[in-house]
Amino acid sequence: MTAATEYRYNRLTWAEMNEAIAMQKVVILPTGSTEQHGRHLPLDVDVFLCESVCLEAGRRAPDKILVLPPMAYGLNLHHIDFPGTIHIEPEVFIAFGLNITKSVAYHGFKKILLVNGHGSNTPLIDLIARKTVLETDSLCAALGYFGLAMEAFNQVKDTPVMAHADEFETSLYLHLAPERVQMDKAGHGDDVMGKYMSSDSMYAYPVRFNDYWGRWTNLGVHGDARTATAEKGKVIFEAAVNGLIGLVEEWRQWPIADRMDQHTGPVQKQIRW
C-alpha cells in the first residue's frame, strides 16, 4: 500500500501521511453509537453501517479519501433503559470530535467530512463542523449517510416509517453481515404520535422531541423490520457509497476564498471566542 492507494487513515505511516496531505485527500470521520437496536440487531448498528459505507467509498476512491477510525459512541441517554447502551454527554462528544477535526486540519488537510449513522448525533456533528470551519483554515461539513440513500430506498421499501432498527437499517445489516441478524426476533413498533410531535419526533413533525424510549416501547424498534431483505440492503449500500463518492468529488473542488473584512475602522483582533 502507498499513500495513493491506502484509504484507511491509521494504516499510513507519518511519512506516508505527508504524501496524503500533499494529495489533499478528503478526510472522513464516521460517527455512530453503541445502543440497543431491538431484539434482532446488535448494539453496533449505527457505527457498523456508517463505517462500512465510508470504508467502501474509500476502497473505491482511495486517491481521494482517507477514513478515520470512527467515533463509536454518541448521545444515547434516551435509550439507557435498554441494557448495553452507552451514552456520551453532548459537550463531551462535541469537544472530542472537534479535537479530532482540529488535529486533522493542523496537519494540513483542507477538506473534512463528518459522516453520521446515529440520528441523535445530528445537531452535535453540525456544531463540530461549524466550529471546525470557524477555528481552523480548513472546511468541514456534516451529513447522515442515510440521506444519500433515501431516493433509492424509497423505490424498494414496503413500510412507511424509517426511524430505528427498522426496514432500512435491518436490510443494510442483512446485506453486510447477515449472520449477526436474528430475523426471527424482528418486530414492529410505533411511538406515541400527536399532531405536532411524537415521542420520537422525526423530521415530518414541526416540533423536535425525543422521550425516554423506556416510556413507550419494550421492543426498542421504531418502524417495521419484518420486511427487511439483503436485496434492499444492497440497494441502500450502493446508493450511499456512490453518493458519498460524488459528494467527495464536489467537496474537493469547493473553493476556500479569502475573507473580506468590511470594517472601515480597526477591530480588536486579540478577542477570542
Q: Write out the chain's pLDDT in tens, 273 residues.
A: 799 999 999 999 999 999 999 999 999 999 999 999 999 999 999 999 999 999 999 999 999 999 999 999 999 999 999 999 999 999 999 999 999 999 999 999 999 999 999 999 999 999 999 999 999 999 999 999 999 999 999 999 999 999 999 999 999 999 999 999 999 999 999 999 999 999 998 878 999 999 999 999 999 999 999 999 999 999 999 999 999 999 999 999 999 999 999 999 999 999 988
Residues 230 and 171: beta-carbon distance below 8 Å: yes
Task: Tell me if the pTM is above 0.95.
Answer: yes
- Give the CA angle between residues 67, 11, 32 to the nearest 5°: 35
What residue ranges do the domains of the chain occupy? 9-253
Q: What is the CATH number of domain 9-253?
A: 3.40.50.10310
Determine the pLDDT at residue 2: 93
Q: How many CB atoms lie within 10 A of CB 96?
A: 13
Residues 6+ away with beta carbon under 8 Å from 48: 32, 42, 173, 176, 177
Determine the pLDDT at residue 146: 97
